Amino acid sequence: MVPLQTLYARTHFRNLQIHKLYRSFHSTKHLYKEPITVSTVYDPVTGCMVTKSNEEPDKQRGERLLNSDYADAFKDDRSYGSVMKGFGGGKKKSKSKSVWVCSECGYSDGQWWGYCRECKSVNTMKELVDVVDSGGGKTNGFQMSEKLVQSWLPKRAGEAVPLRLTDVNRGVNHSDWRFPLSGLFGDEVSRVLGGGLVPGSLVLVGGDPGVGKSTLMLQIAAIIAEGKEIGKPAPVLYVSGEESVEQIGNRADRMEISTDELFLYSSTDIEDILVKAQALSPRALIIDSIQTVHLAGVTGSAGGIYQVKECTAALLRFAKKTDVPVFLIGHVTKSGDIAGPRVLEHIVDAVLYMEGEQYSSHRLLRAFKNRFGSTDELGVFEMSPCGLKAVKNPSEIFLSEERSDSEFLAGLATAVIMDGSRTFVIEIQALCATGSSLSRQVNGVQAGRADMIIAVLMKQAGLKLQSNAIFLNVVSGASLTETAGDLAVAAAICSSFLEFPIPSNMAFIGEVGLGGELRMVPKMEKRVGTLAKLGYKKCVVPEPAAKLLRGLDFGEFELLGCQTLKDVINSVFITS
Ligand code: TYD
Ligand code: MG
């Protein structure tokens, strides 16, 4: 048996690891005295053959990493070799093990359950076979980056002990803690991040392939590198595992990015990336994408659940230890499948999603999780031939250009909806046609909600819609998810049915109740303020809202308070 001192000399593990190794050494000695017996029996509960051994259960689960490290340290010791067989030691061999991962929340379990024990979803546990390399080497992203970063940074004094809050905050000016991003584009990104870039944060930027994630990150990288707000450029490292540096260079040229401090690197090895980052000491690190990078020692291909998790853990450690913010790009499917965002959501500080309709140039950047800000924020961009541009008046993006014609067009009404903290003005079209089949088609409005509004118009407002086919459409592909648009839907139907065009400078805000009454909706002041700013002259609102807002100054803007749908028809659609 090799004395413990020799073990210390052979391996360069840190104290904690040596301590664990020492424990492992003793447990192994114990096992040497009592050889392991293994038997295979039929388990009636699972209906499978199960292999059982006389090992203690916690040792069976064991810390495979430590055991394999231990096996490595003693690989030339014969007496140990036979004992290590119980741990999969001796001859280096790869083992495969199954884990079940929940596709909803990312929870993983060593055995299959009919439901997820974390989020209670049924039928979401999917089996993943992972090959565990028992031949030693690094299998843990956390340890890998810890080792790398520790050799780089001097250990901060007092880091290893709990600190008083007052000591932590002493001398820190929280107002300039975040890194500001300059320009209209930078403001829009800052808004989503919660007011600027937080040092040492790990941000995941997700979205469908081709939505514009790489474009967005290249532009953000350039802004951070230029550092116009603080007047000091600094290096930013953009690492791509998907494109060559020439391809990224070509894209940057198209977007007129020419900062000296933007460094491009094409690699998929996370260890290599962190070594290069260490040499550069960047202001920010961008990884495009997390599905393409891998960590040596963790088996399974890049993009697999283990690789994605371990690489993210390595980058998290890197970010926290060095205060360098790290952005990860992640391709996701809308269902958020395995190795998608759900698995990483727990690890990262912020999850941003980039959304965009296939045939629209508008892109929305939304915070889904943010440890440093609100998740209500929304960034609105437009994809142009030279990159993403911030949209100056996001409230107007869903308005059609032919709006001026609506003076003569019956069946068009304007609504104001909220998305997070942002307001959007949208147009709703209705067409009531007699004589055709009595079908009902809705686009952008929930079918059930539309049915309810039509029923209320018939029963409570006395509109004879029974013999009409009704078509509803939200212009520009937007969708009406809020009840605040009910009144505009009702107004559009009335306008088409009565063939009475609604003036283009008039809007409708309010929920419609089953009794035909109009109900208040949240953030009335903000919605009305947006309309006034965009040059609208009149808005029909529920009576209580009109009373509430009467004291406020919206210039020449007029609020028309109504209690029921009948009131709305009488005051808007009947000319005296
Ligand atoms: P990209 O950033 O490569 O998407 P992702 O990284 O999310 O897969 O952008 C892809 C799309 O963006 C591509 O279809 C072309 C379009 N695009 C422009 O319209 N203008 C531009 O300046 C750039 C760079 C891309
Ligand atoms: Mg890309």
Q: What is the 3-state secondary structure of 190-210?
A: HHHHCCCECCCCEEEEEECCC
Residue 239 pLDDT greater than 90, yes or no:
yes
**Position in ligand 1 atom list of the atom nearest CA 207:** 7
pLDDT band at 321 (very low <50, low <70, confident <90, very high): confident
Ligand number with the minimum distance to the CA of 254 = 1
Percentage of the chain with pLDDT > 70?
A: 72
pLDDT of residue 166: 87
CA dihedral sign, ordered 393, 396, 402, 408: negative
Ligand number with the minimum distance to the CA of 210 = 1
Least confident window among 68-82, 218-232, 291-305, 445-459: 68-82
The Cα–Cα gap between 480 and 509 comes to: 13
pLDDT band at 87 (very low <50, low <70, confident <90, very high): very low
Closest to 510 measured CA to CA, from 528, 496, 498: 528
pLDDT of residue 139: 55
The Cα–Cα gap between 144 and 142 comes to: 5
Residue 134 pLDDT greater than 80, yes or no:
no
Nearest protein CA to atom 10 of ligand 1, as residue: 210
pLDDT of residue 83: 28
pLDDT of residue 203: 94
pTM: 0.68
Structure tokens at 503: 């003036």
Structure tokens at 444: 């952008």
> Is 73 or 154 the better-scoring residue by pLDDT?
154
CB-ligand 1 contact for 250 (6 Å cutoff): no
CB-ligand 1 contact for 88 (6 Å cutoff): no
Bridge partner list, 526:
none
Structure tokens at 424: 């959007």
Helix axes 183-193, 213-226, angle to 10 degrees: 110
The Cα–Cα gap between 77 and 29 comes to: 14
Q: 245 CA distance to ligand 2 centroid (A)?
A: 13
pLDDT band at 215 (very low <50, low <70, confident <90, very high): very high
**What would the mean pLDDT of 260-282 be, rounded to a whole number?**
91
Least confident window among 55-64, 102-111, 409-418: 55-64
The Cα–Cα gap between 427 and 57 comes to: 64
- Mean of the per-residue pLDDT values of the chain: 77
Mutate to test the pocket of ligand 1, among 204, 205, 211, 215 (most ligand atoms within 8 A of CB): 215
| Cα 380 → chain centroid | 16
pLDDT of residue 100: 78
CA dihedral sign, ordered 430, 435, 441, 447: positive
pLDDT of residue 207: 85
pLDDT band at 142 (very low <50, low <70, confident <90, very high): low
Give the three-state DSSP class for 182: coil
pLDDT of residue 219: 95
**What would the mean pLDDT of 96-107 be, rounded to a whole number?**
71
pLDDT of residue 221: 95
Give the three-state DSSP class for 361: coil
CB-ligand 1 contact for 215 (6 Å cutoff): yes
CB-ligand 1 contact for 448 (6 Å cutoff): no
Least confident window among 166-170, 198-202, 322-326, 522-526: 166-170
How many helices (H) and strands (E) in the chain?
A: 18, 23
Give the three-state DSSP class for 49: strand
Least confident window among 110-124, 147-161, 457-471: 147-161
CB-ligand 1 contact for 186 (6 Å cutoff): no
Strand order in the sheet with 422-434: 440-443, 468-474, 422-434, 412-419, 506-508, 538-542, 558-562
Contact of 489 with 474, CB cutoff 8 Å: no
Residue 20 pLDDT greater than 80, yes or no:
no
pLDDT of residue 3: 41
Residue 285 pLDDT greater than 80, yes or no:
yes
CA dihedral sign, ordered 278, 281, 284, 289: negative
Integer angstrom CA distances of residue 530 from 41, 418, 481, 542, 557: 72, 11, 19, 17, 11
Nearest protein CA to atom 9 of ligand 1, as residue: 212
Q: Please enumerate in sequence order all residues whose Cβ is within 8 A of that of 261, keeping only pairs 6 or more positions apart, or say none.
A: 225, 226, 233, 234, 235, 236
**What would the mean pLDDT of 481-502 be, rounded to a whole number?**
93
Q: 216 CA distance to ligand 2 centroid (A)?
A: 9
**What would the mean pLDDT of 43-59 be, rounded to a whole number?**
48
- Token pair 């009475």: residue: 500
Q: Please enumerate in sequence order all residues whose Cβ is within 8 A of that of 293, keeping only pairs 6 or more positions apart, or say none.
A: 241, 267, 268, 269, 270, 273, 287, 302, 307, 311
The Cα–Cα gap between 380 and 185 comes to: 9
Residue 12 pLDDT greater than 60, yes or no:
no
The Cα–Cα gap between 548 and 550 comes to: 6
Residue 296: what are its φ and ψ, rounded to 5°? -65, 135
Closest to 324 measured CA to CA, from 213, 255, 206, 239: 239
Q: What is the pLDDT of residues 371-405, one digit of tens each?
A: 988 887 888 899 999 999 998 777 777 776 655 55
**Position in ligand 1 atom list of the atom nearest CA 329:** 6
ω before 289 within 30° of 0 (cis)?
yes
Give the three-state DSSP class for 125: strand
Nearest protein CA to atom 23 of ligand 1, as residue: 387
Helix axes 64-73, 15-33, angle to 10 degrees: 80
Give the three-state DSSP class for 406: helix
The Cα–Cα gap between 356 and 226 comes to: 28
Contact of 538 with 557, CB cutoff 8 Å: yes
Residue 270: what are its φ and ψ, rounded to 5°? -65, -35
pLDDT band at 60 (very low <50, low <70, confident <90, very high): very low
Contact of 373 with 194, CB cutoff 8 Å: yes
Q: 238 CA distance to ligand 2 centroid (A)?
A: 12
Residue 131 pLDDT greater than 50, yes or no:
no
Give the three-state DSSP class for 569: helix
Q: 143 CA distance to ligand 2 centroid (A)?
A: 29
